[in-house]
């Protein structure tokens, strides 16, 4: 078991946000870009967080991107010279603002991981770009934020072992590929078996779920795996992708979790890890509901649960 986390005496936990998390997209585009700004505003409005808890990632990740991505891909994407086929695979139209937004979100996850090590628990208001590979992007994912943050912590000697818990409805194929030969990072993906990506990569542990899986069955299966993984891996930090696209109302999901089920999932993951002394760095992952404000509320369930868990386990 990891050494129990000693939380700060401050009665709050770190939440990461930057105004550049939002970049212009065509009004007809299906990616809900405004959700990042709206999530931050909802958390403040509902007093889940206050302004003092908000941290902005100011560091440029450009020196960190080569830890995962090829120089050719980084240069082509950042300079807007990626070929049209590769651009279509990403699914987001290139603009300078989107390129800046992409880099800022990666630096946000790096900061989230650093603050999680320091404070025991930290939550980004973006992140979860797990379909990005070293030399191409896919499925709205350009650079792989978890992979960059994980390699950063490993190469700087801050950690020796990492567990990635990916509960987005889509398998974390890019992350699985990147760490396929790196035993210091254990990848666990629990996802809808018949959903994107069509050609999946092998995680260290994949748990494909049947279409239409509901709250109780989902949480039962999660409970069968997570405690044992913590005991097996003994990570210095857990990276948690809390995608809300397993929700029954998600346009791209195919599972059937409710709001209550999502909140129970967040409480289950965070309390299981934190109660045993494992720091957790959280990102919000995917979510594509028809009603934007309902989607934002679902994403906020992560931060609401984290606030509860942080208070409960302060030492």
pLDDT at 5 over 60: no
Read off the tokens for 237. Answer: 């930090």
150 sits in the region (left: phi over 0; alpha: psi -120 to 50; else beta) called alpha
Q: What is the pLDDT of residue 11?
A: 54
CB 2 within 8 A of CB 280: no
CA distance 290 to 28: 13
Q: Give the confidence band of 313 by pLDDT, cuts at 50, 70, 90.
A: confident
pLDDT at 286 over 80: yes
Residue predicted with more confidence, 63 or 11: 63
Q: What angle do CA 142, 148, 152 make, to 5 degrees?
A: 165
Rg (CA), the chain: 18
Other residues' Cβ atoms within 10 Å of the Cβ of residue 52: 9
Q: What is the pLDDT of residue 185?
A: 98
- Report the mean per-residue pLDDT for the chain: 94
Q: What is the pLDDT of residue 273?
A: 98
pLDDT at 315 over 80: no
Residue 177: name the closest of 185, 169, 48 by CA.
Answer: 185
CA distance 287 to 70: 28
Q: What is the pLDDT of residue 148?
A: 98
Domains (ranges, CATH) in the chain?
15-21+32-312 (3.40.800.20)
pLDDT at 306 over 60: yes
- DSSP conformation letters of 85-99: HHHHHHTS---HHHH
Q: What is the pLDDT of residue 1?
A: 44
SS3 assignment, position 150:
helix
Read off the tokens for 3. Answer: 């050494």
CB 279 within 8 A of CB 116: yes
pLDDT at 271 over 90: yes
pLDDT in tens, 101-117: 999 999 999 999 999 99
pLDDT at 314 over 90: no
Q: Which helix (H) or strand (E) holds 238?
A: strand 237-241
pLDDT in tens, 39-65: 999 999 999 999 999 999 987 778 999
Q: Give the confidence band of 206 by pLDDT, cuts at 50, 70, 90.
A: very high
pLDDT in tens, 153-187: 999 999 999 999 999 999 999 999 999 999 999 99
Q: What is the pLDDT of residue 246?
A: 97
CA distance 239 to 280: 6
């Amino acid at each position: 078991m990891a050494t129990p986390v000693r939380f700060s005496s401050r009665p709050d936990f770190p939440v990461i946000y930057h105004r550049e998390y939002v970049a212009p997209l065509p009004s007809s585009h299906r990616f809900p870009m405004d959700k990042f700004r709206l999530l931050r505003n909802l958390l403040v409005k509902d007093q889940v967080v206050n302004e003092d808890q908000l941290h902005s990632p100011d560091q440029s990740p450009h020196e960190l991107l080569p830890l995962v991505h090829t120089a050719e891909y980084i240069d082509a994407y950042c300079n807007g010279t990626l070929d049209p086929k590769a651009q279509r695979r990403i699914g987001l139209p290139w603009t300078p603002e989107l390129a800046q937004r992409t880099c800022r979100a990666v630096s946000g996850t790096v900061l989230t991981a650093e603050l999680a090590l320091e404070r025991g628990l930290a939550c980004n208001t973006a992140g979860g770009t797990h379909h990005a590979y070293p030399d191409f992007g896919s499925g709205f994912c350009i650079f792989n934020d978890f992979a960059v943050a994980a390699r950063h912590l490993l190469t700087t000697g801050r950690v020796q072992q990492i567990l990635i818990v990916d509960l987005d409805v889509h398998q974390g194929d890019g992350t699985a590929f990147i760490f396929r030969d790196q035993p210091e990072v254990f990848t666990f993906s629990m996802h809808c078996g018949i959903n994107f990506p069509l050609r999946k990569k092998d995680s260290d542990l994949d748990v494909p779920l049947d279409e239409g899986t509901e709250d109780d069955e989902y949480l039962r299966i999660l409970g069968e795996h997570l405690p044992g993984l913590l005991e097996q891996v003994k990570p210095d930090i857990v990276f948690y992708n809390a995608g809300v696209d397993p929700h029954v109302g998600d346009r791209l999901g195919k599972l059937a979790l409710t709001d209550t089920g999502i909140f129970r999932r967040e409480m289950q993951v965070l309390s299981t890890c934190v109660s045993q002394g494992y720091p957790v760095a959280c990102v919000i992952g995917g979510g594509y509901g028809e009603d934007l404000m309902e989607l934002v509320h679902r994403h906020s369930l992560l931060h609401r649960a984290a606030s509860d868990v942080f208070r409960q386990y302060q030492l």
